[in-house]
A = this chain, B = another copy of it.
Amino acid sequence: MCVQIVGPNFHSERVRRCGCKMSENGISRPKVLTLDTMNPTVKMVEYAVRGPIVQRAVELEKELSEGIEKPFTEVIKANIGDAQAMGQQPITFFRQVLALCSYPELLNLDNTFPEDAKNRARLILQSCGGSSLGAYSPSQGIDYVRQDVANYIERRDGGVPCDPDNIYLTTGASDGITTILKLLVCGQGIDRTGVMISIPQYPLYSAALAELGAVQINYFLNEDNCWSMDIQELQRAVNEARQHCHPRALCIINPGNPTGQVQSRDCIEDVIRFAAKERLFLMADEVYQDNVYAEGCKFHSFKKVLFEMGPEYSETVELASFHSTSKCYMGECGFRGGYMEVINMDDDVKSQLTKLVSVRLCSPVPGQALMDLVVNPPQPGEPSYNCFIKERTATLSALAEKAKLTEKILNTVPGIRCNPVQGAMYSFPCITIPDKAIKEALEKGQQPDMFYCMTMLEETGICLVPGSGFGQKRINEGFVVMTILPPIDKLTILLNKVKEFHQRFTKQYS
């Protein structure tokens, strides 16, 4: 209810709180859309990766640019896997083809572009409506690109067949994940769909589930065993969940975000058996499939393992797997390219999926073109091959070095312990937070790890994300997410600053 207040004693604060605005002539009209009257599921959404700490980091950058003095000269955003923002260079071949596709007049230039880049641009343009990136594509994605994706998956998985009809091109992996979740959610009360997600998790999952009003079922990764996935823990989680909801899907991120663990083949088999037994739809987020650094670790796709387990599984277990142009050695986040493959999906449901994605018309066509280049890069003998291999190797080797460096330096700090970064792009160290700091945080109404990260940001300009935003909460211990993406010299400085800050913070609050 809005109370109309007219006259000189107009109290703007009171009016604002009721969502009401009064014009100069004294006419008051309550807002249609207020916190009280908006979609309640949207209010439940949280997204730590771009939460309050990142907002503060942006403010600090502005303040610095306005000449306001700070104890640092630069804000370093180590909160998100944004490789090119951290200086990683794009793959030359990819960008050449994108430029040619954007402005096909360039195909007439001599000596500026290698022939394979030109040929590829021609092939992509031929597959577009009106030979233009500016036309809509089919909703499922350009046929030619989906065929290349299918070929890639077959090569990657040692010949396991892939049907391009099962490939959907998406706006980054996030779009694919939320679309599949959208299909899955139904029921009320004890029949409400529950979806199992790892803790720590990538907060897209909790955000999407909150928005859909689904039940989030947490299963905890085992910090003591390099953040491994334990079947006993999955069993505990699903058993408990069955008391209050209907578990229908199991999400896995492999290699892990933010934990960097790379799942063993055995573990994946166990997970598939578990999903079959418990009748869960599997969702495998495999966007870091090229980001494996630790010796003895190897990426195994869920699909390959599923098919190697024989028809009892390969013909029955429903699986959606996700990939994107944003991670691996590409780091092309801004293009929002991605694909998903659906396996053993009911035909009628697939029709519904195709219909659903048609409402957004199509994913961005430049992102589709880029996805094509990722799954079909230059081949030996082609003019761009050597340059491509050199660039890819340099990026992946540097990431492997940075993964080791991060673990090594963090583990020299008393009160910080860090599992090996086996894969992906993040470290997820555990931080001992002194009691006094916990007390001060709680007095401020903050999670202790948020208080820790905010203090670090204000004192050092380093922006990390508190682990509580990823679901990881413990008494007396906090976790932080830090990317390994800055260039090595900068990362070394950053890690040493974190070290100094932690020592200072610990001393201050002891």
Which A residues fall within an 8 A CB radius of B? Answer: 16, 19, 21-25, 27, 29-35, 37-40, 42-43, 45-47, 49-50, 58, 80, 82-88, 90, 92, 95-96, 98-100, 102-103, 105-106, 109, 112, 128-130, 132-139, 171-172, 174-175, 182-186, 204, 207-208, 211, 248-249, 276, 279-281, 310-312, 314-318, 330-336, 344-349, 352, 355-356, 358-367
Contact = CB atoms under 8 A, between A and B. Distances in A.
Nearest to A277: B29
A169 to B, nearest CB: 12
A112 B96 CA distance: 15
A31 B346 contact: yes
Quick one: which of A35, A281, A358 has the most chain B CB within 10 A?
Answer: A358
Contacts of A85: 129-130, 132, 135-136
A316 B348 contact: no
Contacts of A95: 102-103
Max chain B Cβ within 10 angstroms of own Cβ: one of A96, A315, A366: A366
A282 B150 CA distance: 44
B128 A21 contact: no
B32 A333 contact: no
- Nearest 7 pairs between A and B by C-beta? A85-B129, A334-B365, A99-B103, A85-B135, A50-B358, A23-B311, A84-B134
A208 B129 contact: no
B90 A132 contact: yes
A31 B319 CA distance: 11
Copy number in the complex reads 2
A359 B207 contact: yes
A362 B348 contact: no
7 contacts: A32-B279, A39-B182, A42-B182, A83-B134, A86-B130, A134-B334, A335-B364
Nearest to A334: B365
A16 B138 CA distance: 28
A121 to B, nearest CB: 11
Given A134-B332, A136-B80, A356-B42, A364 B361 contact: no
B82 A129 contact: yes
B334 A135 contact: yes
Contacts of A25: 310-312
A364 B345 contact: no
A26 to B, nearest CB: 9
A179 to B, nearest CB: 10
A362 B334 contact: yes
Q: Which of A90, A128, A281 has its CB near the most chain B CB atoms (within 10 A)?
A: A90
Contacts of A134: 83-84, 90, 330-335
A245 to B, nearest CB: 14
A361 B173 CA distance: 11
Contacts of A103: 95-96, 98-99
Contacts of A106: 99, 106, 112
Given A58-B138, A84-B134, A207-B359, A171 B98 contact: no
Nearest to A91: B134
Nearest to A17: B348
Contact of A349 (B38, B96, B100): B38
A443 to B, nearest CB: 24
A359 B183 contact: no
Given A249-B32, A364-B335, A39 B186 contact: yes
Nearest to A246: B37
Contact of A336 (B40, B58, B112, B363): B363
